[in-house]
């Protein structure tokens, strides 16, 4: 592949996959700024490796595999840093990265409390216009697994939100508490 | 509380993937089952909230310009991506030479200690090289 046709091929890939890779990164990393950085890294790797792409898999499978590996490596690095800081300092002084328990009916907070594999499928399903097929291709999972994870995510999410509502309703409001003193 | 055998069908129904026959079955069931009716309403509300909350994010307008700058910098950079691997290889050859020398010195006690230290160094080196290779080229495997 000469330089000009290589650049044109890369630009076509960038046009087609830029947003898809970004959405996948959003679902895997849960943060738009981190997802954008990851998408940059993914396309840099694609640009570097495109001349040696032999077409053993489809181009979308190849790009999504690079994207998944890049995001998972970034997550491992972040998790490693977090573990290191917890080892180094008094854990009680480190603010928790988990969503706060008192997030009320905050939907995103509840999604953050789901097991990661369920949350990723759930988020990507809605970001990809409710397409099982697109989620399956992006995450490299069979369609049946996508559907199973999605249903488990929704069942757990309904339970979490119901529990949050119950906690809120059973909490004694401040005026009532004050009147008892 | 929904009937367990209808839970997944209710979710399929909300996602619009239930077949017409299954949809008709569910509709006749929920007419008589308050638990499943409540669960359907709960899941429909959740679906609506998720659709509103999980909207498509947008890349920043500078994404392409940033990427182009990184690619241009990469083009200018000397092609030394394999240098660390070459240095690793030289290190392993040195270890192998040292191991060969120490094996000739056996059964001297110091040689055993040296061989043990070399084996430890080699194991650590393989581990670290493997990690680096997986991080850099893992997507190809």
Q: With cut-offs at 50, 70 and 90, classify the pLDDT of residue A67.
A: very high
At B103 the pLDDT is 86
> Is residue B106, in this structure, part of any structural domain at all?
yes
Return the structure tokens found at A129: 């216009």
User: Do A161 and B46 make contact, defined as CB atoms within 8 angstroms?
Assistant: yes
| Closest residue to A155, CB basis, from B7, B50, B135 | B7
Contact A161, B42 (CB under 8 A): no
- Co-location of B85 and B46 in the same domain: no
pLDDT tens-place string over residues A14-55: 999 999 999 999 988 888 999 999 999 999 999 999 988 887
Mutate to test the interface with A, among B7, B39, B54 (most CBs of A within 10 A): B54
Distance between CA atoms of residues A87 and A57, nearest Å: 42
Range of the domain at B13: 4-53
> Is residue B109, in this structure, part of any structural domain at all?
yes
Model confidence at A93: pLDDT above 60:
no
At A85 the pLDDT is 59
Return the structure tokens found at A28: 């895997």
Give the DSSP H/E element, type plus range, for residue B102: helix B83-105
pTM of the entire structure?
Answer: 0.68
User: Do B50 and A126 make contact, defined as CB atoms within 8 angstroms?
Assistant: yes
Q: What is the ipTM of this complex?
A: 0.71
pLDDT tens-place string over residues A115-164: 989 998 999 999 998 899 999 999 999 999 999 999 999 999 999 988 88
At A44 the pLDDT is 95
Higher pLDDT, A90 or B115: B115
Considering its fold, how many domains does chain B have in total? 2
> Is residue B72, in this structure, part of any structural domain at all?
no
In CATH, A1-97 is 1.10.150.120: no
CATH fold group of domain A100-171: Arc Repressor Mutant, subunit A (1.10.10)
At B75 the pLDDT is 83
Higher pLDDT, B5 or A108: B5
| Closest residue to B11, CB basis, from A44, A65, A154 | A154
Cis bond upstream, residue B107 (ω within 30): yes
At A171 the pLDDT is 59
> Is residue B61, in this structure, part of any structural domain at all?
no
Q: Same topology for domains A1-97 and A100-171, yes or no? A: no
Return the structure tokens found at B62: 């500078």
Q: DSSP per residue over chain A, as a string? A: --HHHHHHHHHHHHHHHHHHHHHHHHHHHS-HHHHHHHHHHHHHHHHHHGGG---SS-HHHHHHHHHHHHHHHHHHHHHHHHHHHHHHS-GGGSPP-SPPTT-TT-HHHHHHTS-HHHHHHHHHHHHTTT-HHHHHHHHT--HHHHHHHHHHHHHHHHHHHHHHHHHHHHSPPHHHHHHH-
pLDDT tens-place string over residues B65-112: 999 999 998 888 766 667 777 888 888 898 888 888 888 887 777 888
| Closest residue to B49, CB basis, from A39, A107, A150 | A107
Distance between CA atoms of residues A74 and A76, nearest Å: 5
> Is residue B62, in this structure, part of any structural domain at all?
no
pLDDT tens-place string over residues B42-58: 999 999 999 988 888 89
> Chain-wide mean pLDDT for chain B?
86
SS3 B116: helix
Domain ranges for chain A? 1-97, 100-171
């Amino acid at each position: 592949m000469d330089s000009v046709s290589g650049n044109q091929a890369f630009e076509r890939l960038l046009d087609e996959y830029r947003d898809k890779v970004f959405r996948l990164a959003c679902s895997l990393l849960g943060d738009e700024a981190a997802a954008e950085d990851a998408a940059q890294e993914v396309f840099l790797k694609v640009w570097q490796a495109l001349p040696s792409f032999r077409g053993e898999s489809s181009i979308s499978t190849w790009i999504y595999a690079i994207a998944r590996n890049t995001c998972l490596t970034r997550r491992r690095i972040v998790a490693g840093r977090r573990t290191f800081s917890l080892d180094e300092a008094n854990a009680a002084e480190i603010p928790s990265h988990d969503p706060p328990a008192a997030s009320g009916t905050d939907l995103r907070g509840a999604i953050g409390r789901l097991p990661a594999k369920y949350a990723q499928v759930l988020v990507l399903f809605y970001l990809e216009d409710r397409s099982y097929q697109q989620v399956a291709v992006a995450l490299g999972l069979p369609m049946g697994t996508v559907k199973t994870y999605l249903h488990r995510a929704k069942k757990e999410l309904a339970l979490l939100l119901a529990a949050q509502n119950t906690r809120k309703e059973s909490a004694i409001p401040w005026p009532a508490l004050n009147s008892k003193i | 509380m929904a009937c367990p055998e209808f839970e997944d069908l209710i979710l399929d129904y909300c996602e619009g993937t239930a077949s017409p026959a299954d949809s008709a079955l569910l509709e006749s069931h929920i007419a008589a089952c308050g638990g499943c009716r409540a669960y359907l309403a709960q899941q429909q509300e959740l679906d609506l909230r998720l659709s509103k909350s999980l909207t498509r994010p947008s890349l920043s307008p500078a994404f392409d310009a940033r990427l182009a700058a990184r690619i241009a910098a990469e083009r200018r950079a000397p092609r030394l991506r394999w240098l660390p691997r070459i240095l690793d290889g030289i290190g392993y050859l040195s270890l192998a030479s040292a191991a060969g020398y120490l094996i000739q010195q056996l059964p001297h006690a110091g040689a055993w200690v040296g061989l043990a230290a070399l084996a430890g160094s080699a194991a650590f080196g393989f581990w670290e090289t493997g990690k680096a290779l997986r991080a850099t080229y893992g997507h190809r495997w």
